[in-house]
Amino acid sequence: MRMSSLLDILRFRKPVLPVDRRSAALALAAGHGLGAPGSQDGGQDVDAGDDDLCGLWIDDPLQLDARRAGTPEDLVPHLDEFVRSGFTIFRGAVPPALVDAVVAHTQSFGERPEAVVLKCQGAYIDPVGHASLRKGDRIVDLYATSADVRTAIYSPQIKRFLRLVFDDDPIAMQSISFEFGSQQPMHQDTAYVVSERPLCLAATWMALEDIEEGSGELMYYPGSHRFGHFLFSGRHKNWKRSRDGDSAHAGFLGQLHSQASERGIREERFLARKGDVLVWHADLAHGGSPIRVEGRTRRSLVTHFCPRSIKPAYRRMIPQHYLEFEHEPHCCFTSRHYDLGRMVDGSAPIIYDGGVSKRRLQAQQTPPVTEP
Ligand SMILES: O=C(O)CCC(=O)C(=O)O
């Protein structure tokens, strides 16, 4: 792609902000906070600096030209696609044997369910007694429980690309793995996955099997990472139910479709082959398409990353436990769910699962009520 066309793409976003983006930046400069993901996790507000909507260098037309010129040749098409469309695809990024090891680890969750953090429709649920993963289930932060998973999420091309766009080492800050399609509505991650600078974020979507039509394929609006900002309560990139309410959330989801239709953008789907990885920009609108073939699996692993010099917002909620663990040089991970300071055999104990394991233990310790 010609450099001038790439710059044209960037120009309508920053630094020439559409009205809502400009007022957002001014609101932030005036010292308003950005919230942490409290909707389901009881988060707290996070103070923002005045440049929180500035994002990565790839979003800055003033830097793009010079930086692109120094990009390794094999990564240039990926960089261009990422800047233009808000995502890029690395075919066969993870070797089949490693994907198999990740799947085997996921499937073995029934053997040690108490070691797993499981969510379904935004709520933590008890994995004990759960024979297998159902539709809507997602295992959280699988990388804290397996070295194979860590190696897979940091496969060489992905690691290089993340280091390029972050201009920094990445930290894996959260992951979710699926047996079935998520059917999650079209959304932008900045509403839910909060780094200290909301736009300093990227995610990878790894196919753990060949993905078939009708299985609830990943869907997205190409170019939606340049949509005007939707700001919750007029100033926050992230949604917090107690602060912003459900109708603001519905409004957020709805305006993604109207912005797409105003720009003539049509939804696309990722019919991935096993081992393919799609990397998306913090603000790419994406979700899980409806499952049309009942029972068809759609095994996948999503990992969210932020640059190492920018931290996940949840760090402030777990100051005594927060740890960045180096899997291999330049490949870190952290978690709000696992105590990484107590890793044994490559796996860490759970520190936060929404109170699920505590309630289970209490129930086990409560003596049975005996009849008089
Ligand atoms: O894999 C999917 O269906 C969507 C996942 C997703 O939207 C996310 O992790 O943010």
Write the DSSP string, 286-311.
EEEPPP-STT----EEEEEEEETTS-
pLDDT at 132: 84
C-alpha–C-alpha distance, residues 43 and 232, integer Å = 15
Q: What is the per-residue pLDDT for 53?
A: 80
Give, for ligand 1, the residue of 218, 280, 281, 301 to mutate: max count of ligand atoms closer than 8 Å to Cβ.
218
Q: Between 360 and 45, name the one with better pLDDT.
A: 360
Structure-block tokens of residue 83: 């800047």
Q: Which of 43, 319, 316 is nearest to 193 (CA)?
A: 43
Tokens representing residue 325 in the block: 């663990």
What lines the ligand 1 site, CB under 6 Å?
176, 178, 181-182, 184, 189, 205, 218, 286-288, 300, 302
Q: Which domains does the chain have, with CATH numbers?
A: 3-95+163-283+291-332 (2.60.120)
8-state DSSP, 227? S
| Helix ranges, 167-279 (H) | 241-263
Per-residue pLDDT for 203 more than 70?
Answer: yes
Q: Which of 291, 115, 130 is nearest to 214 (CA)?
A: 291
Q: Report the mean per-residue pLDDT for the chain.
A: 87
Residue nearest to atom 6 of ligand 1 (CA): 287
Q: What is the rounded average pLDDT of the residues 353-372?
A: 80
- pLDDT for position 9: 55
Q: Which atom of ligand 1 is nearest to the CA of 178?
A: 1
Report residue 10's pLDDT band, with 50, 70 and 90 as the boundaries. Answer: low
Please state, in angstroms and rounded to a whole number, the distance separating the CA atoms of residues 104 and 138.
16
The residue whose CA has the least distance to atom 10 of ligand 1 is 189
- Return the minimum-mean-pLDDT range out of 9-13, 240-244, 323-327: 9-13
Cβ atoms of residues 222 and 269 within 8 Å: no
Q: Lowest-confidence range among 53-57, 258-262, 306-310? A: 53-57
Measured distance CA(187)–CA(69) in Å, rounded:
33
For atom 9 of ligand 1, which residue has the closest CA? 302
pLDDT-derived band at 20, boundaries 50, 70, 90? very low
pLDDT at 274: 98
**262 C-alpha to center of ligand 1: Å?**
24
Which residue would you say has higher pLDDT here, 15 or 140? 140
Smallest Cα–Cα separation from 56: which of 130, 136, 163, 142?
A: 163
